Amino acid sequence: MKATRLQILICVIILFTACNQGVKENGANKKGVTKKEWGTVDDKPVYLFTLTNSKGDYVTISNYGSTVTSFVVPDKNGNKSGIIIGFDSLSTYLKHPPYFGATIGRYGNRIGNAQFKLGDSTYHLAANDGKNSLHGGLKGFDKVVWDAMVADSTSPELSLTYLSKDGEEGYPGNLKVTVTYTFTDSDELKIQYAAETDKPTPVNLTNHSYFNLSGDVNNTILDHTLMIDADAYTPVDSTLIPTGEIKPVKGTPFDFTTAKKIGLDISAVPGGYDHNWVLNNKNGALAKVAVLSDVVSRRSLEVFTTEPGLQFYAGNFLDGSFINRDGKPIQLRTALCLETQHFPDSPNKPGFPSTILQPGQQYSSTTIYKVIVQ
């Protein structure tokens, strides 16, 4: 029996759709957003989204923890590799690695003695870092499943929302949070945070991606150069809680106002860099605040933010207990974080910019991680 033209046309359409689906499932070469099932947590479906730009560069993001799991861009020779630490399976994230790529909240970094006073009440949080509270507590925003929505935009875009209930992890107020990720054709990962509350509450959201621009965790980050546009930093006590002072970086190992190798002065800092820099960008406008570079791959990462602070954490606690997706152990200082934020322990430090969100106010914060090859 001879096939009619219509039957042939239908077959062609089916074949075309199937091929396209293949591209979508594997992600990574067609501009747009693709989604694949990645498992279940707390009876909620977990997905892995791939945001691919017109160059075929891509980021992958899961709605578990609102986590960036890979960021793949070319080096000077056009060879593409991943510049952040990440895993291909959800099960590794469920072993609670140290916040690789995750969204941190309700309060990024530390709150001293795991408590703060607001109005007439004292709020008690879980002490999950010695006597202090770190990164939102026992089950912070990095360990919950977010609702996902792929946005219709000129660049691939993904919005994740989460309702943190009144009293969750000890924090007051129902907090509705949205994180929107956009991946542009200029290899910029733009992260926009928005939040609303129905009771006054501290909010400090950040992303905890660990970068190694060489694309190979066999290399430490000590030869990367770093510039931070900050004339001051917040010194800390032995438990990494700010003392409340704001000190000039000039003449100290904390001076990154001109790009220098991270390894140059790190041994003069007990434990290594894990501090908040007071950015010169004071008016809340989006500004370039840091540049990280790797001379070998010739990749640079430019960080733009509206936030007043930047936590530069040099991977001082990495100890090889997690294996990167390329099979290599993630050892001491093989990756670093540049966490845009308000200052740690602000709820207990009246001299620091306030982190208290009031009902009726909009929390709004933007950070861009842009990769360039020079």
Q: Exactly one of 74, 86, 97, 98 binds ligand GLA (CB under 6 A); which one?
A: 98
β-strands 157-164, 175-183 pairing: antiparallel
| CA dist., res. 347 & res. 90, Å (int) | 34
| Contact between residue 311 and residue 337 where contact means Cβ atoms under 8 Å apart | yes
User: Which is nearer to ligand GLA, 109 or 281 (by Cβ)?
Assistant: 109
Cα–Cα distance, 354 to 344 (Å, whole number)? 11
**Is residue 319 a contact residue for ligand GLA (CB under 6 A)?**
no
Interior/surface letters 315-343, b for 16+ CB within 10 angstroms, e for the rest = beebeeebebeeeeebbebbbbbbbbbbb
> Is residue 16 near ligand GLA by the rule CB under 6 A?
no
State which of residues 71, 181, 254, 313 lies at the interface with ligand GLA (CB under 6 A): 313
Of 58-66, 182-190, 217-225, 310-318, the window that binds ligand GLA (rule: CB under 6 A) is: 310-318
Query: Are the C-beta atoms of residues 250 and 280 closer than 8 Å to each other?
Result: no
Q: Segment 229-248, which members bind ligand GLA (CB under 6 A)?
A: 240
Binding mask 187-206 for ligand GLA (x = CB under 6 A): --------------------
Query: Which CB, 189 or 240, lies closer to ligand GLA?
Result: 240
CB of 318 to ligand GLA, least distance (A): 8
Q: Which amino acid is at 99?
A: Y
169 assigned to active site: no
State yes or no: residue 317 binds ligand GLA (CB under 6 A): yes
Q: Which is nearer to ligand GLA, 64 or 210 (CB)?
A: 210
Over the window 128 to 167, marking each residue x when it contacts ligand GLA by CB under 6 A and - when it does not, the resulting string is ------x---------------------------------
User: Catalytic pick from 135, 157, 339, 342?
Assistant: 339
Q: Does 274 bind ligand GLA (CB under 6 A)?
A: yes
Is residue 83 a contact residue for ligand GLA (CB under 6 A)? Answer: no
Has 208 been annotated as catalytic? yes
User: Rule CB under 6 A: is residue 311 a binding residue for ligand GLA?
Assistant: yes
For ligand GLA, give the closer residue by CB, 135 or 299. 135
Cβ-proximal residues to 25 (8 Å cutoff; 6+ apart), any chain: 34, 36
Q: In the complex, what is the shortest distance from the CB of residue 273 to ligand GLA, in angstroms, rounded to a whole number?
A: 10
| Residues in 109-128 that interact with ligand GLA by CB under 6 A | 109
Q: How far is the CB of 344 from ligand GLA (least distance, A)?
A: 7
Options 87, 99, 210, 343; binder of ligand GLA; rule CB under 6 A: 99
The answer to whether 291 and 300 have CB atoms below 8 angstroms apart is: yes
Residue 337 as a binder of ligand GLA (CB under 6 A): the answer is yes
Cβ at position 369, least distance to ligand GLA in Å: 16
Nearer to ligand GLA, 238 or 283 (CB): 238
The nearer residue to ligand GLA, 86 or 173, going by C-beta atoms, is: 86
Active-site pick, 157, 168, 208, 224: 208
Structure tokens at 91: 């099960």
* Residues involved in catalysis: 208, 339
Q: Which residues of the chain form contacts with ligand GLA (CB under 6 A)? A: 98-99, 109, 134, 240, 274, 311, 313, 317, 337, 339
